Structure 1
Amino acid sequence: MSWEHVRVRVTVIGVGRIGEALVAGLCRAGMSAESITVIGRSVERTSDVAHRHGVRVADLRNLPDECDVLVVAVKPQQIEEVLTDLGSAFRGSSLRPVVLSVVAGVATERIEQFLPSPVPVVRAMPNTPLTMGAAVTAIAGGAAATEHDLRLVESVLDSVGEVLRVPEDQLDAVTAVSGSGPAYVFLVAEMMIDAAMSLGLERVTAYRLVTGTLAGSSAMLGVGDVDPVALRAAVTSPAGTTAAALEVFERSDIRHTFQRALTAARDRSLKLSGMVRPPLAPAPGEQH
């Protein structure tokens, strides 16, 4: 979306790859740098990110007076400390932004227990193409999140790619498909390059052929409603070279291998989610 006539204030807690990529995406989409604030543990890293994108700097003890969306983009092992500090900061102010968590494996219900009611929480699972403005991000709203809150979050995440809504209990499956998905594509590229070299091609040639093929093929997938089955069929002449290769793939039971791989990723996400529970007790008087 265009931010030229829209006044939304965003604060990002965490200035790692995901946090900075979101800041960069918002700036690239036209959001005023004065509307963006970053908060990080490392003073040097936070200052570098702020200087690179021209945005503001704050800390958890001194939150911006105005904030519409507060993004939590820290490592899972840091989130309890951050939420504890954030809950304290909220209790001392009238600030009630939408809290957008991109921390894997931490449920909205758990986040809500650290915050005063009725702070709305939205959980998101982006993937690494976010750094190129080409992410696909799934979001799920917590108990207090309204339609307005979800639309506000979508407007922010639209700056770095496509956004879709799912029930929160599907986010572990989303993690297996799109969260981990780029690694599957990179593995295919790696294997194709190795196979190309085994056929006698130089590494540089193999690399350019494979990466160009994958990039071009991915672009074709994004055009209209063309099904990948139809695209594959269009490349596959009966008894031709492509058919010979695909026959080998099918004999290797590659479909079942993908099924098992994604199931393993989903199950691992579920297990990791359980590792960060039970939650710390919220502050007295803040049960909700």
Structure 2
Amino acid sequence: MIDTATRPIVLVGAGKMGGAMLAGWAARPPGAPVMVVDPAVSDEVAASAAQLGARLASEPPADTKAGVLILAVKPQMMGDVLPALAAMRDANTTVVSVAAGITVATLEAALGEGPVVRTIPNTPSQIGRGVTVCFGNAAVDDERRQAATELLGAIGMVEWVDDEGLIDSATAVSGSGPAYVFHMVECLAEAGRKVGLPEDLAMRIARGTVSGAGALLDASDAEAETLRRNVTSPGGTTAAALGVLMNDAAMEKLFVAAVDAARIRARELGS
């Protein structure tokens, strides 16, 4: 059972991802006391904390046990931070990590046994449109899973996998995926420039096209394939372009190679 009536939700790290979660909770309070542990919070984070009524602490208080302990520090800082957090965790504390590459085994070794949720969010979480993929160890029951889903839902959609190894695959698709989309905008704008469009115009319409297509995809119940076909008139301009992109699955093969490279690297970073 999760005790968030007397134990706080403790957010460790209030950078971009931690700050996004705090802002989400300020808009949709989690119904439990919140503590933020960070030595230097921004004015924006301080405002969200004040709106939520969250307590701020510059370092982990040794006299506090967390109901949920959320680790939102950078992976390279985790080794220094974890020892100081051990006193805040016992077997009833649910640990939720949003640090890439930090395995459940690493967290268990540093903080002791108990429920651990490992997650990989992505940067659109900063505007509440993120994708977070989660894995829970054997101690994460349905109640804890639901609690984690509700907390992480403040920054976007939440999905679960039953194999921790799939977190690396999710990292390669959704975690790194926004960068692929941003690069696609760069490539589309450059292609526009090379066919004669002014550089600034090419970038503006490339950005608008990709963000608009994403909004349409989000708003529609239709599959991506159906939306693609809706744009593609037989023998038309879109069909000509797709004949290049889809010839011998050229674009698909490129994405498969890119995602696999990211997956392998994620595994290396976690080892």
TM category, shorter: 0.7 to 0.9
In the TM superposition, what is the alpha-carbon distance from 1:72 to its structure 2 partner?
0.3
What is aligned with 1:262? 259
Aligned length, in residue pairs = 261
Pairing 1:94-133 to 2, within 5 Å after superposition: 96-117=92-113, 119-133=114-128
Give CA-to-partner distance per residue, 1:98-149, whole Å, 9 cap, x none: 11001111111221122233x3111111000000100011111013211111
TM-score (norm 1): 0.83
Separation (CA, whole Å) in 2 of partners of 1:46 and 1:134: 23
State whether residues 176 and 266 of structure 1, in contact with CA within 8 Å, keep that contact through their aligned partners in structure 2. Answer: yes
Distance 1:247 1:50, change over 3 A: closer
142, 152, 156: which is aligned to 1:157? 152
In the TM superposition, what is the alpha-carbon distance from 1:220 to its structure 2 partner?
2.1
The residue identity in structure 2 corresponding to 1:266 is R
- Please identify, of 129-138 and 215-224, the stretch whose mean Cα deviation from structure 2 is larger: 215-224
What is aligned with 1:39? 37
Pairing 1:33-182 to 2, within 5 Å after superposition: 35-40=33-38, 43=39, 45-46=40-41, 48-53=43-48, 54=50, 55-62=54-61, 65=64, 67-90=66-89, 96-117=92-113, 119-167=114-162, 168-182=164-178
Separation (CA, whole Å) in 2 of partners of 1:39 and 1:112: 20
Give CA-to-partner distance per residue, 1:48-86, whole Å, 9 cap, x none: 354232232124441574643211011112212222111
Distance 1:63 1:11, change over 3 A: farther
Separation (CA, whole Å) in 2 of partners of 1:261 and 1:19: 28
State whether residues 65 and 95 of structure 1, in contact with CA within 8 Å, keep that contact through their aligned partners in structure 2. Answer: no
Say whether 1:27 aligns with 2:26.
yes
Give CA-to-partner distance per residue, 1:25-47, whole Å, 9 cap, x none: 11122457x9332112xx3x326
Separation (CA, whole Å) in 2 of partners of 1:66 and 1:115: 12
Percent of paired sites with the same residue: 36
What is aligned with 1:217? 213
In the TM superposition, what is the alpha-carbon distance from 1:11 to its structure 2 partner?
1.6
TM-score (norm 2): 0.88
Structure 1 unmatched ranges of 5 or more: 1-5, 275-288
- Please identify, of 158-167 and 63-72, the stretch whose mean Cα deviation from structure 2 is larger: 63-72
What is aligned with 1:15? 14
Structure 2 unmatched ranges of 5 or more: none
What is aligned with 1:285? none
Distance 1:9 1:247, change over 3 A: same
State whether residues 65 and 87 of structure 2, in contact with CA within 8 Å, keep that contact through their aligned partners in structure 1. Answer: no
